[in-house]
Homo-oligomer: A and B are copies of this chain.
Amino acid sequence: MLTNRQLQLLQVIVDEFVMSAQPVGSRQLSKKEGITYSAATIRNEMADLEELGFLEKTHTSSGRVPSEKGYRFYVDHLLQPQIITSGEVAQIQSLFKKQIVEAEQIIKESANILSELTTYTTILLGPDVQKHRVRKFQIVPLTEQTAVAIIITDNGHVENRTLTLPPGFNPHDIEKMVNILNDRLVGVPLYELPIKLQTEAISVLKSHIHASDSIVRSLLSITSNHHENKVYYGGKSNMLNQPEFHDLEKMRMLMDLIDKESQVQTLFNEQKNGIQIRIGSENNHLAMENCSVITASFLVGEEQQGAIAIIGPTRMDYRRVVTLLDVMANSLSRAFFDKKQ
């Protein structure tokens, strides 16, 4: 168990290192306000903290740097919410003032504001479309051979896809088909659509409409499209400002990771409610070795939820980020909840 003094020191060391990005030494610390004991005492304490695994040295005679375990302890036990300025709160809230604005727009803007306020990179994951339920099918002919199929969900999401009509397929066929689809599949959540299509709809369609196969195949591909959940970014270039990312190879890997939508999903893995912090290697990814990710989820309606992630160096201002993230997630939840009423 750590003594009070050790707790205080660990806290100050993390805070200090987050600010300066420089290993912090005993002499420097002893001069800090609130520290009454001498450099030598601090050296002893730091040696103990190092032995316990909370601190590290970059080389034999350098100051100390928090280890991952140190950060972990810090966020678990020492983190207290920061008072953020009313200006910052106002900046966040201003987003939600303009009533007219579209959900998508709000989300996009949120990402930008967050990255501006934190100076880190923000990734915003929209609600999981797969859980939406089908509200309506629609097929609109474009030319003789092409049409666009549209699926509208109960949350107002619209998926669409152009498709090629089989030869001889006429408007009447389309109408019949749309009717069948609407009869059988309204209310089905998107993730179940492929199965339901094949079990419930396909045989009926086949018996009533010739050559419906190819269209069904197109419909299937609408939902199996893997970019279902829209991803929004904010402040990608902020990462370049962090001294730890001056290593270009690291930087490159990180950018690659972030740009790949498929990989982004893993960042949000096992998303629970509330705020989650993953530090360095806890991310299980080489490119994220020196990064921490703080995620928060927000509600959209009753069960739908989106998620925000902020990516920064392990030497991240956890206090500030957690606070801001909390404000933002609440604001988003409230905004979308109101929308649903």
Please report A residues at the B interface, Cβ cutoff 8 Å. 100, 102-103, 135-136, 138, 140, 142-143, 146-148, 150, 152, 154-156, 158, 160-162, 217, 221, 233, 236-237, 240-241, 246, 248, 251-252, 255-256, 259, 339-340
Contacts and interface: CB of A to CB of B under 8 A. Distances in A.
A69 to B, nearest CB: 31
B148 A150 contact: no
A156 B146 contact: yes
Contacts of A147: 156
B160 A142 contact: no
A100 B138 CA distance: 20
A27 to B, nearest CB: 32
A158 B156 contact: no
A140 B152 contact: yes
A246 B138 CA distance: 51
Nearest to A243: B248
B259 A221 contact: no
Contacts of A251: 237, 240
A339 B156 CA distance: 29
A142 B158 contact: no
29 contacts: A100-B221, A102-B162, A102-B221, A103-B162, A135-B140, A135-B142, A136-B140, A138-B138, A138-B150, A142-B155, A142-B156, A146-B156, A146-B339, A147-B156, A148-B156, A150-B150, A150-B152, A150-B158, A156-B160, A156-B162, A233-B259, A236-B255, A237-B251, A237-B252, A237-B255, A237-B259, A240-B248, A240-B251, A241-B252
